[in-house]
Amino acid sequence: MAWPAALGLMLGLICLWMIVGLPVAFAFFLTNIAGSWIFLGGEVGIMSFVRGSMASISNFNLAPVPLFLVMGEILLRSGMAFRAIEAIDRLIRRVPGRLSVVAVTGGTVFSALSGSTIATTAMLGQSLLPDMLRRGYHPSMAMGPIMAIGGVDMLIPPSALTVLLATLASGVSRDKVSVTELLIAGTLPGLIMSALFICWIVLRCWMRPDLAPAEASPPPMSWWQRWRPFFVHVVPLSAIFVVVMGSMFAGLASPTDSAALGCLATVVLALLYRALSWTILLESLKNTAIVTTMIFFIIAASTTFAQILAFSGATDGALAELAKLEMTPLIAVLMMVGVLLVLGCFMDQVSMMLLTFPFFMPLANALQLDLVWLGVILLISLQIGLLTPPFGLLLFVMKGVAPPHITMRQVWAAALPYTVMVFAVLFLVIFVPSVATILTRTM
């Protein structure tokens, strides 16, 4: 079978199963079964599919995924995250759009402790959004910062999606993508985004005070009354970030080891705060197991999908056609970004990685691109997909926690200016690669 027909068959089957309504993982599995039978040789191909699927998830590098997720679950269910947000709220005073600034600052802190964008958005939406709307904040000024900082969770470690991206990219690339370097590389772009969000909020609310009405003067507090919650509920949590990132940055631990140390630190802190019970622990582990199972299904499907495409000749054929275009590295990167931005309007982040990485990573190898730099660019492009209609994941999370009178159109409008700022950081990383690589070079 010619490679265009093989490629059309594989992609067409995936689209067909998705249109029918099957979950992404099952759509890929059914397509892989058909592809294995056709291109790998009937029953022998099916056995090869099974062996490849098992081998893809028997990868020790995947261990940080559930560990990062359980850290965020314990912080959220134990209430430690909510107390940290309240402590930050007490510190930020007399700033235009104060609660929006609290959302970004608190979300940045929680991003450094949680591996889930959904958890960050849901937590901030539940804790801050009702109070902001009750105080007269415009819906765009109340919802926009929460969705925007939820997306930053993808970049600031620990991030389960970063580990997943590095694992999927390594599975279809000639060169391995370092999980440690990619986790560290996303930190600076994420912090730049947070700073841009705060500057926008302050400037916008200074120009339009009606977007965030001024609050009554807070009751007088002593220095200790104001700062005590910060030292009690925020500073100890920073130990989790120091343990996770410090051990990796110093070269003392692998991502798996540092994630295990982070879990241990989270449990110890929860016990010290007397915030951990058997019920909370079991619910955290249960939810982590559900999400991890889904992720592992997707990884198994992705690896086999890439192998079938390669065996059928579709990958080599497509790359040969791209080589005829004589693309420069910059044009190739911009093309990858463009594809992800278009797909981000209609698909979730994992589905986009599954479809595109079998083509993106061999092309990156051929052009000798820095895979850590490219990984950060792809992460930011995927982050934009979280905020773009009609199917941005965080848009639906926000609609789920918002009051019933908030329309989907208002949610989309709230995310728009922050999406523009994420675009600005994306182009900064593309044209100034050191923004993404300076920390890894220091390491």
- The total domain count for the chain is 1
pLDDT band per the 50, 70, 90 thresholds, residue 115 = low
The per-residue pLDDT for range 406-423, each reduced to its tens digit, is: 888 898 899 999 999 999
Between the CA of residue 273 and those of 85, 123, 236, 259, 263, what are the distances in Å? 16, 19, 10, 21, 15
Between the CA of residue 100 and those of 15, 129, 148, 200, 380, what are the distances in Å? 40, 9, 11, 10, 22
Asked whether the predicted pLDDT for residue 241 surpasses 90, the reply is: no
Q: Is the Cα dihedral 164, 165, 171, 177 positive or negative? A: negative
Asked whether the predicted pLDDT for residue 2 surpasses 80, the reply is: no
Domain that holds residue 315: 3-442
Preceding amide of 158 cis, omega within 30: yes
Mean pLDDT confidence for 14-18? 79
Buried/exposed 192-204: b ≥16 CB within 10 Å, e otherwise? bbbebbbebbbeb
Mean pLDDT confidence for 148-160? 83
Stated pTM of the model: 0.81
Residue 389's φ and ψ, nearest 5 degrees, are -70, 160
The per-residue pLDDT for range 263-293, each reduced to its tens digit, is: 899 999 999 999 889 999 999 899 888 878 8
Q: How far apart are CA 438 and CA 443, in angstroms?
A: 9
Task: Tokens 């109070």: give the residue.
Answer: 131
The per-residue pLDDT for range 298-317, each reduced to its tens digit, is: 777 766 777 777 777 776 77
Per-residue pLDDT at 267: 92
Per the prediction, the chain carries an average pLDDT of 83
Residue 264's φ and ψ, nearest 5 degrees, are -60, -45
Mean pLDDT confidence for 200-222? 82
Buried/exposed 221-244: b ≥16 CB within 10 Å, e otherwise? eeeeeebebeeebbebbeebbebb
Paired tokens of 328: 């420069």
The per-residue pLDDT for range 348-404, each reduced to its tens digit, is: 677 778 778 888 888 888 888 999 999 999 999 998 888 887 667 788 778 877 888
User: How large a percentage of the chain has pLDDT more than 70?
Assistant: 94
- Return the top range by mean pLDDT from 52-61, 91-100, 132-141, 312-321: 132-141
Mean pLDDT confidence for 54-77? 79
Asked whether the predicted pLDDT for residue 37 surpasses 80, the reply is: yes
Degrees, nearest 5: CA angle 437-441-443: 120
- Return the top range by mean pLDDT from 50-54, 86-90, 113-117: 86-90
Per-residue pLDDT at 189: 94
Write out the H or E segment, with its range, that includes residue 90: helix 80-91
Q: How far apart are CA 304 and CA 49, in angstroms?
A: 6
Paired tokens of 74: 């314990």
Per-residue pLDDT at 87: 86
Write out the H or E segment, with its range, that includes residue 310: helix 278-312
Residue 405's φ and ψ, nearest 5 degrees, are -75, -10
pLDDT band per the 50, 70, 90 thresholds, residue 346 = low
Mean pLDDT confidence for 197-217? 86
Q: Are 211 and 137 in contact (CB under 8 A)?
A: yes
Query: What is the DSSP secondary-structure string of 217-272?
Result: PPPP--HHHHHHHHHHHTHHHHHHHIIIIIHHHTTSS-HHHHHHHHHHHHHHHHHH
Q: What residue type is assigned to position 435 of the chain?
A: V
HSE toward the beta carbon, residue 96, CA cutoff 13 A: 15
C-alpha 48, offset from chain centre: 32
Between the CA of residue 332 and those of 210, 319, 359, 365, what are the distances in Å? 45, 12, 11, 12
Residues 6+ apart with CB under 8 A from 344: 352, 381, 382, 384, 385, 386, 388, 392
Q: Are 302 and 296 in contact (CB under 8 A)?
A: no
Per-residue pLDDT at 418: 94
Per-residue pLDDT at 333: 93
Residue 391 burial by Cβ neighbours in a 10 Å radius (0-12, 13-18, 19+)? middle
Q: How far apart are CA 325 and CA 206, in angstroms?
A: 49
Mean pLDDT confidence for 229-238? 88
| Maximal C-alpha separation, the chain | 77
Per-residue pLDDT at 421: 95
CB count within 10 Å of CB 262 equals 28
